[in-house]
Structure 1
């Protein structure tokens, strides 16, 4: 495939676009660089890693897929007792996101271990018509939790027992203070 050369206007637009993009998930990033000697040949453009930062951000601890056996038994059996709960269904995405962050901050301030987050189930008509199987809030909550300022304080995220809402709710298991 033969590549054509970008015009100076296209090159400026591309540069502006690449500077404005934020990654969905944080991680190692590759920056594009085009040395002046290679600016005339875009085929020789290469990706170079960014210069190491003087002080790197602390690594975040990801929520665990499995907890110890006593937690697993309590979650499966529905004997877990949420310390706090928040009901997000019926809210707009922005309002739900703000309420979720407030609830996590409040739970952490009160040393709660289990936060029940009710997201709601999608309407039954959407499932019958072949629509989305998840609601909008449920679809976004994973990303919200990953990018939250409290992400390192979340030990695990699990689907709630039917007693607490089943597929329409989640347990957030919070880490103890260090």
Structure 2
């Protein structure tokens, strides 16, 4: 149903009828009808930019700033050793000449044991050693803040990049599945 505007004659006729009528509630003040108010003026519309299907938006949504997992961080380190040897290492074709198992040790026990093992292996002329950290205990993660599994698994790669071990350690990589997988690291030592 469309609305039509009242003309001046219609308003005058209405006032004449309203003056002759008796009010139901005379205590209320008399209200005079007013002319209909004009519609508000709409602001001018901005032109719509051209859009083509498949085009990208001009603004980019910022990515989440989440810390990478330990496996991704170790894998993203630049390769310092020979590329062919590194590929063989990642495929498990090169066998470690020595290994240390840090299972069940606390951080205060594991750190000196690792440093001693690495310097001793370097002095003996070994090139590839295996450091077994374990994957960590499986815990229920019910809280709002996620907790990382395996203290030594996260701490050992940081220890291996310390300035005191740089003269000895050339490359760190996650071990192949047959040598421990995510629970162990290959440490490729520098030449003597």
Taking only aligned residues, the RMSD between alpha carbons, in angstroms, comes to 2.3
- CA displacement at 1:128 relative to structure 2: 8.5
Q: Pick the aligned partner of 1:119 from 111, 133, 136.
A: 133
Change (3 A) 1:124 1:134: closer
Deviations 1:14-71 (A, max 9, x none): xxxxxxxxxxxxxxxxxxxxxxxxxxxxxxxxxxxxxxxxxxxxxxxxx843533321
CA contact (8 A) 1:86 1:117 kept: yes
Whole-Å separation in 2 of the counterparts to 1:126 and 1:173: 35
Matches within 5 A, 1:1-178: 64-65=78-79, 67-126=81-140, 131-147=146-162, 149-177=164-192
Aligned length: 115
CA contact (8 A) 1:127 1:133 kept: no
- CA displacement at 1:131 relative to structure 2: 4.8
Q: Which residue of 1 aligns with 2:19?
A: none
Whole-Å separation in 1 of the counterparts to 2:101 and 2:85: 23
Change (3 A) 1:127 1:159: farther
Change (3 A) 1:126 1:79: farther
Whole-Å separation in 2 of the counterparts to 1:147 and 1:101: 11
Kindly indicate which of the two structures has a greater share of residues assigned to helix: 1
TM-score (norm 1): 0.57
Which of 1 and 2 has greater Rg?
Answer: 2
Kindly indicate which of the two structures has a greater share of residues assigned to strand: 1
CA contact (8 A) 1:83 1:115 kept: yes
Whole-Å separation in 1 of the counterparts to 2:135 and 2:141: 10
CA contact (8 A) 2:172 2:188 kept: yes
Unaligned runs of 5+ in 1: 1-62
CA contact (8 A) 2:137 2:149 kept: no
- CA displacement at 1:127 relative to structure 2: 6.5
Change (3 A) 1:147 1:77: closer
